[in-house]
Amino acid sequence: MKELKEQYDKEVLLIEYQAAQASAQHSDDLTWTVTSIIWGGMLVLFGFVLGNLYNANLILILTLLSVLGIALTIAVWGFALQLNSVMRQKYQRCKTIEKQLGMYQHSDLKYKSGSQRIMYGVITVLFIMAWLVILLMAWKIV
């Protein structure tokens, strides 16, 4: 009876491990899908705005688009941070289960933690700065 319970517990942990890993991968995929769509869309928006930067008739729409660009940049950064947190929690659960079952899939990984988040943040700040410069140029402040 004890062996049967141990086998059942191991199977439950393996199922949880698979679910946690799949959820972590989904969160990471979602982060990069949302980021790609928003960043790609913003680059197209940059093209429109820059092509019409000195059209005085469009100053209000250029202002609105610049504010929208800043808001989207901040929003996607927030989404990425939240999904990254979920991903890290899921992988931490995988590591806990690995320890219980004598597995090493995620526990033995060696990588520089945080470097991807830093680069993501730098790119995000650059997007915000670009939108601010465009906004100032539209109003001929720069």
The full 3-state SS of 2-54, as one line of letters, equals HHHHHHHHHHHHHHHHHHHHHHHHHHHHHHHHHHHHHHHHHHHHHHHHHHCCC
pLDDT at 86: 97
The pLDDT tens digits along the chain (142 residues) read 788 888 889 999 999 999 999 999 999 999 999 999 999 999 999 999 999 998 889 999 999 999 999 999 999 999 999 999 999 999 999 999 999 999 999 988 888 888 899 999 999 999 999 999 999 999 887 5
Identity at 61, one-letter amino acid code: I
**pLDDT of amino acid 141:** 75
List Cα–Cα distances, 110 to 20, 61, 113, 115, in angstroms. Answer: 20, 48, 9, 13
Q: Please give the structure tokens belonging to residue 37.
A: 């769509």
Q: What per-residue confidence (pLDDT) applies to 41?
A: 95
Is the pTM here over 0.85, yes or no? yes
Rounded Cα distance, 69 and 129, in Å: 11
Q: Spell 100-133 as b/e; 16+ CB within 10 A means b.
A: eeebeebeeeeeeeeeeeeebeeebeebeebbee
3-class state of residue 55 by DSSP: coil
